Structure 1
Amino acid sequence: MQHNKLSKNWKLEFGIFRRRRISFWLFFGFWLLSFGFIAHAAPIISNEEIVTIGDDFAIITWQTTNELSLGTIKYGLSLPVSTSTTETSPGQYHYLILPNLFPNTTYYYKVISVSSTGTSEGMIKSFKTLQRPSGNFLFSFAMLTDIHYASDLTDTVDVRGRPYSSSEAIVNSLVANINQFFPAFTIIKGDMIDSRLGTDNGTARVSKLKPILNNLRTKYYPIPGNHDKEASYTRNWVDDNLKTLYPEGPSISPSSDSSFNYSFTYNGYRFILLDSSLATGITAEVNLTFLQSELDVAKTQKEKVFIFMHHEATEESDIPEEILAGVLDIPNFTWASHGERIRIRNKDAFFNLLRTYKLDNGEPLVAAVYMGHIHDNRRRDFDDIPFIRTSSGLQFPAGFNLIKVFSNGFIQTFYKLPSYSDPVARECIVGTGEVTKSRAEQFYLGGLASRNFTQIYSAVNTTIPPTVESIQPPAGATGIALNQPIIINFTKPMSKETMVDEWLTISYDGINVPLSSSMWSWNSDKTKLTITISLVANKTYTVTVLGGTGNATATDGTFFTTNYSFSFSTGNTFSTTPPSAFINPIKNDAGVETNVTTDPTPTFFGIATDESGSTVANVEFRYGSPNWSEWYPATPADGTFNSPTEPFIFTLPKEVPIGKHQVQVRTTNSAGVTTAEGFTPYTFYVISNKPLITLTADGSEIINGDPINPSPSFEITVATDQTLSQLWFICDNGTPVNLLPISPSFITSVFYKPTLSEGKHDIRVEAIDQDGQGNTRISTKEVTNLLVQTSGDLQVFGTPLNYPNPFNAGNESTTISYILSRNSHVTLTIHDLAGTLITKKELAAGSNGGRAGYNEVLWNGKSDAGSVVGNGIYVYLIIADGKVIARGKLTVLKR
């Protein structure tokens, strides 16, 4: 009897101890390719774009149109280019970052795609990195516009096509990518949701969008767009949209025009957010009275101003009318009939107002005006003020902006979403009429200098003094652990960092604690000071940052004008255990806990608590799919880890496949105590749009052609985010057996033990449920040609293998795997090359090692006497029915 099991063991030889199968024809096809029997041209490079340029990096994307290839970029300061960066895996869409570049410097580069059929190289091109403002870096903020969240809509494919069905995944990706940069906050410039002139349920869409936006590491500030006001709501656009997303926003009547306006200041800059449309969302207009009052305050306080609104303010005649019709979701556009829906109708008064506000040096008070609505990247300057439109987060080019703010300027960069911009969003753009696909794509992407640029102006904020942003322990805290450090976060980078003892004091009972440089440390930005001292039990400590000339001073020369003090009280114990952590279970759309999701990059929420009273300082996570990833930082839900109880959030950084997964959390408190073992685990399933079925026999995965015993114990597990309504087991097209439990859960496991006759059998499992809209969903799992042998000679299918091989005896074990045709008592012996018996294992029939199907037997590299074997080659024998039925070799190599 022949039974090909090459694929099961082939993976083991390559060091992946999981069983997967490759069909013979796929294997044969790859074999032909390797010998050149199938000829293809080299990969074709298209859509090459230098998308992002910063002051010290660049991002270049391109596509290979006919096959997967491995992308490389060669680059350098001169020709020929020699420095290179290469992708980790092949693909059709390529996204590579050139890091560690010099500011304001010209670089040359070319893209290269290498596939199994050849190599293609792009032309030598060049770019110049952005100039870096000479002043102090203060902070960065992110910016989104025109998200158009509407996961319930079907994709549109036209000159303004939008991948609505991917909007949930895209917004999750936007949030995850923004979080990597740790911006101080995020501005969202309107059209958070999509609407079709009042026919869509805006309330439902906002309720789904809000939890995703809440995953942003820091605060976000939204303003309305036309779609936000045009949608249909249970209550109105104020209560169900803007105030839901931003409860601190102004309390206004939904019938008031251009009224959801507000502002805030950050590190000496003023941010003015304008509602740019009337209550209906149809006509565009801004509230100049509110704007003027804000500009008056900014001028008095010498604050540079950023202005944000949804609608266009500049007058441009080169926007294709077909695109403008798409902006308004109308068949035809004319400026005479529809212009006031694109551009604010009081634009002249708006410009006249801005040009009257100057700083003392004659420069504009306004640093920039940011807009959206059109979905393109475009910059134009008027009266030395940049007016910038930024592109949609959903529609091609699907991305976001990051603004790095300095005391004398800012740097704007644009980022595509690697997984969605080209593979998903670009595919929705097609030519219409006079606007070709290529022209539409270039219009939305915009010019390089519109996406990425540096704006320089005279230094501002030099009169704004530094202050304390946050502290640990919190002011007034009690029972603080005796090994808790003192942490102070400042609003500006601080100077005199080596002389902290000259401008900061710590005291208790009227006694000043002596400080030395070995007790303090700074982060790289010199904004976070950590002081570690030996705290005394049951004392009240007071920490004082000294103000006045010569004391606590920022790097820009400003200083604390008055003393800043806070106090806390110690307990009488040291913190010796890390904070505990709890992960909230995944819920479905109805809010029911399921532990099942359709999102391949799910977001998790949790709470960390330190029972000793020490501050939670850090939370990290990793995920197993099935091997554990590296540890990634979780985000404090309130922006900062600074208390004994802290909510946290995190999103998996990479997509995980359909199946069962785990995440683990480890925590650290301010005393430096970190989880070393017993990490908080959480198990969840990722499914497609229907139930997921897994099937095992006697605890092992089974595939087509596997041998099994005559009375196998099948375990069927079904994971679904809805309620399972039917579960059937069918053998050899016989009568279906109902296995549905009385009370099925979202993860349902049942066992079924039929009696099978000798020969081959086919198994099929069917699981049925209904989605949230009442649509029936059916999943099937089939395994064919399962072999039952009750008599005849015992066989081992394929060649036994062991992994790892070689292995480091004494420090690791190796696993010997083989496939038996039926249950049988097996003796496994291991010998050296001289034939000396090293170890002998008796494996009972029906148990692991002696059961029909796949078996794994572990060997730790020790003899039966307990001695670790030496380096060398060893032979193992598989013995049954008094004869050797298979043998193999393994190697011990100690390192």
Structure 2
Amino acid sequence: MKAICKSTYNEVRNNAQKGSLAALLFLGENVNLNKILIIIFICATILTGYKAYAQDTTSPIPFLITYPYDGTEITSTTFAWSASADDVGITGYELYINGELKASVDSSTLYVTLNESFSDGSYKLYVLTKDYSGNKTKTPEITVYANTIAPAIKIYIDNEEIPAGSSIRRMPLVTVAITDVTGIDKNSIKLAIDDKIVAASIQAQDSSSQHPSDCALSYKIETPLSAGTHTIKVEAADQFGSKNISVLGQLEAKEVVTLSGTPINYPNPFKPKHGQSTKIAYSLSNDASITIYIYDINGQMTKRMALSPGGETSPGTGSGGRQGYNEVIWDGKTDYGNIVGNGAYIYFVVSAEKIVGNGQLAVYD
């Protein structure tokens, strides 16, 4: 239409300037002058607008997202914005979420409701508009959050994730891992032992963030727990107030021993058929009940020696359960009193049903 009007307008104008009657007869013999002038006026108006569009380089005026607010939680799937305007008019609005076009509406509509759900996490939003010349304006980008799940909490005792009812040392190290994709409120984190809140060290993966997605909590129990059962409770909330409480209960505090270094035995190899014995030596962190198990290379238990805290259980075995250095004597005989055959053997030092050390020895007669 623009091309036709432009051609018509130019031809009529040129003929009129020449004083030619063709200007009056251009659209037919029966067309009067008033009709010709009306057509010329319409064409001139369209061409003027066309020239305005072609020459327009001004973008629509700035506008803003009015719902939701930047940094807040998404509570509905409706998004709204203020109106923009332009001297030649705007074509409509487009909503983008994380860079993906989600909806398009006409220039008179200032909101959109999406028929979709949002999983927990952060989302970046902006709205874009453009005029009929193609000039674009978009709102400042905002970040909003979807939040349906409270922070995840994992409790570790001496760097192990253990179930309720487990045995623990009387002075264990308690560590906690807390995660939440929408951000953790560090001020909400509480660690309680037997319902008594303790001052724990909190470290965030992103220390500069007010609401980090990962936090680590650590607390070393310096005063030994009393013998019996204990409960550890951790509480944490995300930045929107969704709270989680994790409880690890029925933990039985026991005096769990540790070894300094690796057990050794000498002589190695030794000759029990010639009356020779070997000594298994190790150092304990504290007095504890110790059991030494000796197995042959086929996995058959050959010898079991039970040692009491602070002293010896069986005559001739030496002390084996006292704090500090210990030597346990093995004469190379089985639990039935038979001398073992030549070969390699493995021994385990066990306390409270936990292997705290092991070694190898050989018999060669």
TM interval, shorter chain, is 0.3 to 0.5
Structure that is richer in strand per residue: 2
TM (normalized to structure 2)? 0.37
Larger relative contact order, structure 1 or 2 (CA cutoff 8 Å, min sep 6) = 2
Higher Cα radius of gyration: 2
